[in-house]
């Protein structure tokens, strides 16, 4: 018994010493905090009330069509979407003929032809949204060294970590929209740098960028830049919401189906549980206790 007490005591002493050592190590770090790398992003993304959030979420087709317009007229000048075929646009409510006409606005490389030469031709619905640059190096060279990322999966690829305890709540609130929240905050988050902050040449200050305080993308949107024909406000905020929704759809076109199936599975499991319980009762009622 004495031995047990002694070992518990010695453990406590070791833990105590460890704690002191840790505190001493941590103390000087606190002094250097100003020069240390800050935690990025400087600002957490704002949470938006998306129509596709929650277990019964749905895409708003009108919003996706507006988002496509913003992507086509603004973002596609720099960003490709090379996992998304044009024919997928029929899911947004466009007819086959409309998709064909839309695709024909783009040029893609094809070949080789009978002479072994590559050639360009008008895109058809089975082609994918092409890159405006011939290769990643050309894209980087045109954008101050940072190639604009492909947008096919961007809304899924950029999920800012929520940390404890937020991620525990997220399990219950079914929060899965940090990608579009991030993109919306980034697009609306350009601001003047704080006094004394040196913005490198060709960079732009944005506290929502996940990897630094500046990024190579200039503020892409301004009010009244894209004309909407459904009366929606032509503001940076609305454009950003629409294009973020569109990018979420591009990343996860079957989101609605997934949520419906998930709900049916839960209902099935509930009924199944009741059945199993009744079966168990009926079997054990015949057994002597
Ligand atoms: C003039 C070219 C240009 C245009 C137009 C443009 N972007 Fe970008 N974008 C870039 C570049 C360059 C980067 C890479 C920035 C970096 O890594 O520093 C980028 C990066 C991004 C990122 C990723 C940031 C990250 O977390 O890595 C998002 C999201 C984005 N752009 C969204 C958009 C949207 C939405 C539009 C259209 C409204 C758009 N961009 C229009 C050049 C552009």
Q: Which numbered atom of ligand 1 lies nearest the CA of 154? A: 29
Residue whose CA is closest, atom 39 of ligand 1? Answer: 75
Q: Which pLDDT score is estimated for 28? A: 45
Tens of pLDDT, residue by residue over 236-267, are 999 999 999 999 999 999 999 999 999 999 99
Residue whose CA is closest, atom 23 of ligand 1? Answer: 149
Q: Which pLDDT score is estimated for 25? A: 46
Q: Pick from 71, 117, 108: which is nearest to 220 by CA? A: 71
Pocket test for ligand 1, best of 40, 66, 142, 148 (most atoms within 8 A of CB): 148
Q: Which pLDDT score is estimated for 174? A: 86
Residue whose CA is closest, atom 28 of ligand 1? Answer: 183
Q: Pick from 173, 160, 170, 181: which is nearest to 247 by CA? A: 181
In angstroms, the CA 232 to CA 93 distance is 18
pLDDT of the chain, 289 residues: tens digit per residue: 455 445 554 545 445 444 444 444 444 444 445 567 788 999 999 999 999 999 899 999 999 999 999 999 999 999 999 999 999 999 999 999 999 999 999 999 999 999 999 999 999 999 999 999 999 999 999 999 999 999 999 999 987 788 888 889 988 888 999 999 999 999 999 999 999 999 999 999 999 999 999 999 999 999 999 999 999 999 999 999 999 999 999 999 999 999 999 999 999 999 999 999 999 999 998 887 6
Q: In sequence order, which residues have a C-beta less than 8 Å from that of residue 265 and are 6 or more positions away? A: none
Long-range contacts of 256-264 (CB under 8 A, 24+ apart): 256/52, 256/57, 256/58, 256/59, 259/55, 259/56, 259/57, 262/55, 263/55, 263/56
Q: Which pLDDT score is estimated for 35? A: 60
C-beta separation of 142 from 133 below 8 A:
yes
Q: Is the CB of 81 under 6 A from ligand 1?
A: no
Measure 105 CA to ligand 1 centroid, in angstroms: 22
Q: In sequence order, which residues have a C-beta less than 8 Å from that of residue 116 and are 6 or more positions away? A: none
Q: Which pLDDT score is estimated for 34? A: 55
CA dihedral 214, 220, 224, 228 (to 10 degrees): -130
In angstroms, the CA 142 to CA 137 distance is 9
In angstroms, the CA 67 to CA 246 distance is 5
Q: Which pLDDT score is estimated for 39? A: 87
In angstroms, the CA 253 to CA 72 distance is 18
* Burial class, 149, CB count within 10 angstroms (exposed 0-12 / middle 13-18 / buried 19+): middle
In angstroms, the CA 123 to CA 31 distance is 59
In angstroms, the CA 100 to CA 210 distance is 37
Q: Which pLDDT score is estimated for 8? A: 52
Q: Is the CB of 148 under 6 A from ligand 1?
A: yes
Residue whose CA is closest, atom 30 of ligand 1? Answer: 183
Residue whose CA is closest, atom 14 of ligand 1? Answer: 148
Measure 215 CA to ligand 1 centroid, in angstroms: 9
Tens of pLDDT, residue by residue over 87-122, are 999 999 999 999 999 999 999 999 999 999 999 999
Provide the greatest CA pair distance for the chain. 92
Q: Which pLDDT score is estimated for 27? A: 44
């Amino acid at each position: 018994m004495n031995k047990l007490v002694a070992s518990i005591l010695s453990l406590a002493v070791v833990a105590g010493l460890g704690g002191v050592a840790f505190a001493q190590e941590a103390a000087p770090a606190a002094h250097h905090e100003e020069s240390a790398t800050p935690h990025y992003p400087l600002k957490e993304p704002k949470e938006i009330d998306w129509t596709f959030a929650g277990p019964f979420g749905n895409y708003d087709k009108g919003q996706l069509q507006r988002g496509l317009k913003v992507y086509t007229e603004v973002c596609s000048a720099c960003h490709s979407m090379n996992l998304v075929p044009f024919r997928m646009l029929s899911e947004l409510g466009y007819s086959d003929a409309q998709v064909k006409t839309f695709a024909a606005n783009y040029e893609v490389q094809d070949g080789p032809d009978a002479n072994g030469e590559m050639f360009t031709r008008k895109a058809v619905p089975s082609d994918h949204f092409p890159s405006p640059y011939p290769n990643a190096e050309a894209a980087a060279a045109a954008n101050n060294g940072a190639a604009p990322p492909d947008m096919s999966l961007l809304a899924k690829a950029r999920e800012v970590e929520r940390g404890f305890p937020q991620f525990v709540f997220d399990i219950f609130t079914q929060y899965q929209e940090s990608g579009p929240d991030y993109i919306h905050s980034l697009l609306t988050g350009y601001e003047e740098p704080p006094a004394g902050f040196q913005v490198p040449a060709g960079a732009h200050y944005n506290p929502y960028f996940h990897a630094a305080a500046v990024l190579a993308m200039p503020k892409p949107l301004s009010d009244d830049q894209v004309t909407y024909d459904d009366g929606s406000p032509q503001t940076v905020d609305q454009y950003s919401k629409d294009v973020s929704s569109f990018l979420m759809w591009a990343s996860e076109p079957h989101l609605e189906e997934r949520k419906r199936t998930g709900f049916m599975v839960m209902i099935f499991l509930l009924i199944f549980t009741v059945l199993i319980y009744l079966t168990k009762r009926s079997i054990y009622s015949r057994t002597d206790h």
